[in-house]
Structure 1
Amino acid sequence: MERQLTGLLAVALLAGCTAAPPAEPRLVDQVQYTRDMRDGSARFTWPDGREPDLGVLAEKSGPGQDKAPAGSERIVLEITNSCAWYLGWQDARDRGDQQAESAALKVMDEVLPTFSPEDPDGQRYARETAAKARTGDGSLAAGYVTNNCESVHWK
């Protein structure tokens, strides 16, 4: 996740605003972004062994010397949480832990598709990923991890 992600996040956050004139988004600096990321992380559940290093995540995805729209950390946390659950599901499968695999699949099926209401294609992808995982096919989960999770550092 590079700093360019911040610009894409701003566009995604503003994309659904067509009924009223767009309000100027509140912008935050790196310090506030990091604080918001730490606060926002508490609203997510994380599988065992897959909690992100929030300091590194905020540094890599935040605005640096610039400013980012307030709330943009939510999208980064949603992406990272999806990474955690897809990897947690695969970790559980690899070690034969059916209880952890089932718990991860439940989150993949019920929680991840609710992320990013402004991105129906992303929600559809999450539903398809969970459906394939239920049949034992981890190809979509693996593809998501390859494309979105490389720079995440886990604690």
Structure 2
Amino acid sequence: MERQLTGLLVLALLAGCASPPAPPQLVDQQRYTQDMRAGSAKFSWPDGRNPDLGVLAEKSGPGPDKAPAGSERIVLEITNSCAWYLGWEDARKRGDQTAQTAALKVMDEVLPTFSPEDPDGQRYARETAAKAKAGDGSLAADYVANNCESVLWK
């Protein structure tokens, strides 16, 4: 009986391990930087809020190590959120209703779609947009204070 149970256990384990997930592809700093430059083109950026991608890749990349391919997307999403939150605040300060409306549209329609693997982040983006529409920039300011300090803008 023990032998049969052991055999069944081994078969069950093998069946469960028949298709292990593929390990993530890893990239070096050079490839990470290339991927960041290519990925950046997929985002829209408000006037005056384009990140220095060389500096961003250097600060966020793997350095002498390797990083999972695609990890630059998360950094670009965070940086793009920073750009739009700051762009919205810049437009408010200078009274530019057109730029403010454009930024609110991105904040409301685009930023909440970032990082589908992070529903809490998406909820935060929706709440930030709703508050901003009501004239309350507190969540946007909090996000900027916690995530955007090291971004160098061009």
**Which range, TM-score by smaller chain?**
0.7 to 0.9
TM-score (norm 1): 0.87
Q: Number of paired residues?
A: 136
State the partner residue of 2:54: 55
Q: CA RMSD in A?
A: 0.7
Q: Which amino acid aligns with 2:40?
A: S
- Greater relative contact order (Cα < 8 A, sep 6+): 1
Q: Over residues 98-128 of structure 1, what are the superposed CA-to-partner deviations in whole Å (9 max), with x where a residue is unaligned?
A: 0000000000000000000000000000000
Q: Over residues 37-93 of structure 1, what are the superposed CA-to-partner deviations in whole Å (9 max), with x where a residue is unaligned?
A: 000000000000000000000000000000000000000000000000000000000
State the partner residue of 1:110: 109
Mapped to 1, the partners of 2:93 and 2:141 lie a distance apart of 13
State the partner residue of 1:67: 66
| Offset, 1:21 | 3.6
State the partner residue of 1:96: 95
**Where do 1:140-155 residues align within 5 Å?**
140-155=139-154
Mapped to 2, the partners of 1:21 and 1:150 lie a distance apart of 40
Q: Give the % identical residues.
A: 85
Unaligned runs of 5+ in 2: 1-18
Unaligned runs of 5+ in 1: 1-19
Q: Which amino acid aligns with 1:75?
A: I
Q: Which has the larger radius of gyration?
A: 2
Mapped to 2, the partners of 1:128 and 1:145 lie a distance apart of 15
| Offset, 1:29 | 0.1
1:78 and 2:69 correspond:
no
Mapped to 1, the partners of 2:21 and 2:78 lie a distance apart of 25
Large movers: runs of 4+ above 2 Å: none
1:134 and 2:133 correspond:
yes
Q: Which amino acid aligns with 1:140?
A: L
